Amino acid sequence: MSTPDWLKPAMQAIEIDDAGRACRDIPESACREEGNNFLRHVVSLTLSKSSDGLIDPKLVLSWLLTHLGAPAYLIGALVPVREAGALLPQLLTAKKIRELPRRKWAWALGALVQGLSALAIALSALFLSGLQAGLAIVGSLAVLAVARSVCSVSYKDVLGKTVDKSHRGTATGLAGSLSAGAVIIFALILTFDLVERELLVLCAISLAGLFWMIAALNFTGLREEKGATEGGKNSLEAAVSNITLLKEDRQLRLFIIVRGLLTATALAPPFMITAAGEGGTDGYGGLGFLVLASAIASLVSSAVWGYLADRSSRKVLMFSAVAGAVALIATSVAGALGYLGVPLLLPVLLFGLMIAYQGVRLGRSTHLVDMANEDTRAAYTALSNTIIGVVLLAGGAFGVIASLAGALSVLGIFALMCVCAAVMAVKLEEVQSD
């Protein structure tokens, strides 16, 4: 049987024998081990990304806390804890990780801790309820997020040392496709009620924990050469030392404002579902459709947004903001009219929001890289990540607002944030035209 076209680049990366292998930017010793390293990257990254989908705080953990009777403010804290917890610690750990000659151990440790944290979430859900369950699960998620930050800091460096640049995109792309398939299978099982929902969710979270631990063990088998350990600097130090850039660079200020406003697309999903519940319907009744909508949105939109971002990241941010505003306004109107219980309406609205979210992710990263130069890129990244991390952490306050004024009021605020982001993004420069 012939190899499918989509798999040929991966097989070519593995099958080239040592004599014919030509690597452009890794040492000869690492080049000889590239086949083994390529496979280990694909396996570990596939397992890790699959785990992310199985334990998605926006949907899966939000449903779990709602099912367990946790307070609304804890449900609202899930996404801020996950997002800020994965971002802010990087500001402090980058220097220490840089001092490790082999950083695969940092990634493996981070994956192991994520796995243990996922199992802690499952056990908390099994034995606790209400406020206790909410506190335990949010606390475990915070530990998981910090561990994820360690993986984020170390991964690109390990990938750059162990896989040649001509095969890196293939490795990460193949892992992304395989993990998306795993999440879609999970969503379909949820959709067709093949297993009782609570049992299935607990099994999925436990499986995510197991996947992370297997990924950690597999990653230790990488053949990684020792790397440079000097010259590391914490991003927090870089951010503080470059705080004057906010005053000097108007485009950087505008970008950070736009990025901060567009955090609404990441924070909104749990409140969309809570709004359906406030309308007298089970917002999570179609959990499988919601997970499926999120997974498909990621799968079908990432490549399109990436293509557009290479041509105009400014327009991607504008279009994403408009799409997010439309999805959130439509959700707010439907909720006010009592229509969120209409079958499949909420998954369709969530699909639209997640399309916007993917555009935000690709647009912001591309714009930041292209607006900076080699001298300013590190400072811009550190300053932007520091401010956005604080904004995300402060996003937990929206859970309190939802408890006091209802989820629809929060969705209205998020919609306004997206509208403001679209207006502000118009003032950004076309950095790809330089």
- Per-residue pLDDT at 209: 96
Residue 131 pLDDT greater than 70, yes or no? yes
Measured N-to-C along each axis, helices 287-337 and 165-191 cross at an angle, to the nearest 10 degrees, of 70
CA distance 239 to 87: 14
Q: DSSP secondary-structure letter at 180?
A: H
> Residue 228 contacts by C-beta under 8 Å, 6 or more apart in sequence?
none
The closest alpha carbon to 317, from 237, 411, 163, 427, belongs to 427
- Rounded CA-CA distance 94/243 in Å is 19
Q: Where are the domains of the chain?
A: 25-220, 233-434
Q: How many residues does the chain have?
A: 434
| DSSP assignment string, 283-301 | TTTTHHHHHHHHHHHHHHH
Distance CA 228, CA 338 (A): 60
Has residue 182 got a pLDDT over 70? yes
pLDDT digits (tens, 9 = 90+) for 259-304: 999 999 999 998 888 888 776 566 556 788 888 988 888 888 877 8
Q: Which residues contact 53 (CB under 8 A, 6 or more apart)?
A: 179, 180, 182, 183, 186, 291, 295
Q: Are 140 and 78 in contact (CB under 8 A)?
A: no
Band of pLDDT at residue 319, cut at 50, 70 and 90: very high
Structure token digits, residue 216: 């950690």
Range with top average pLDDT, 115-129, 168-182, 284-298, 302-316: 115-129
Note the pLDDT tens digit of each residue in 412-427: 999 999 999 999 999 9
All residues at 6 or more sequence positions from 58 whose CB lies less than 8 Å from its CB, including other chains: 78, 79, 266, 269, 270, 294
When pLDDT is averaged across residues 328-346 and rounded to a whole number, the result is 90
Residue among 14, 9, 47 at smallest CA distance from 33: 14
- 67-79 residue pLDDT tens: 898 888 898 889 9
pLDDT confidence of residue 191: 84
Q: Please give the structure tokens belonging to residue 300.
A: 């079908």
Segment 80-89 mean pLDDT? 86
> Cα angle vertex 109, ends 106, 115, to 5°?
140
Tell me the C-alpha distance between 266 and 244, whole Å. Answer: 29
Which residues neighbour 230 within 8 Å (Cβ) at sequence distance 6 or greater? none
Closest CA to 288 of 181, 192, 177: 192
DSSP per-residue letters across 189-249: HHHTT-S-HHHHHHHHHHHHHHHHHHHHHHHTT--------SS---HHHHHHHTTTHHHH-
What's the confidence (pLDDT) of residue 207?
96
Asked if pLDDT for residue 127 goes beyond 90, the answer is yes
Tokens of 414: 């998020």
The two most distant CA atoms of the chain are separated, in Å, by 68
Query: If we measure between CA atoms, which residue out of 278, 421, 265, 289 comes closest to residue 355?
Result: 265
Q: How far apart are CA 265 and CA 356, in angstroms?
A: 7
Domain 233-434 has CATH 1.20.1250.20: yes
Burial class (CB in 10 A: 0-12, 13-18, 19+), 214: middle
Percentage of the chain exceeding pLDDT 70: 82
SS3 101: coil
Span 331-353, average pLDDT: 90
Q: How far apart are CA 407 and CA 102, in angstroms?
A: 47
pLDDT (0 to 100) of residue 161:
75
Cα 42 → chain centroid: 18
For the ranges 3-17, 131-145, 350-364, the lowest mean pLDDT is seen at 3-17
How far apart, in whole angstroms, are the C-alpha atoms of residue 288 and residue 184?
9
The domains spanning 25-220 and 233-434 adopt the same CATH topology:
yes
Report the percent of the chain where pLDDT is more than 90.
35
CB atoms within 10 A of CB 354: 27
Taking a C-beta distance cutoff of 8 angstroms, is the pair 84, 393 a contact? yes
Residues 309, 314: Cα–Cα separation, whole Å: 8
Q: What is the CATH number of domain 25-220?
A: 1.20.1250.20
Work out the pLDDT band at 374, boundaries 50, 70, 90. low
DSSP 336-403: HHT-TTSTTHHHHHHHHHHHHHHHHHHHHHHHHHHHS-TTTHHHHHHHHHHHHHHHHHHTTHHHHHHH
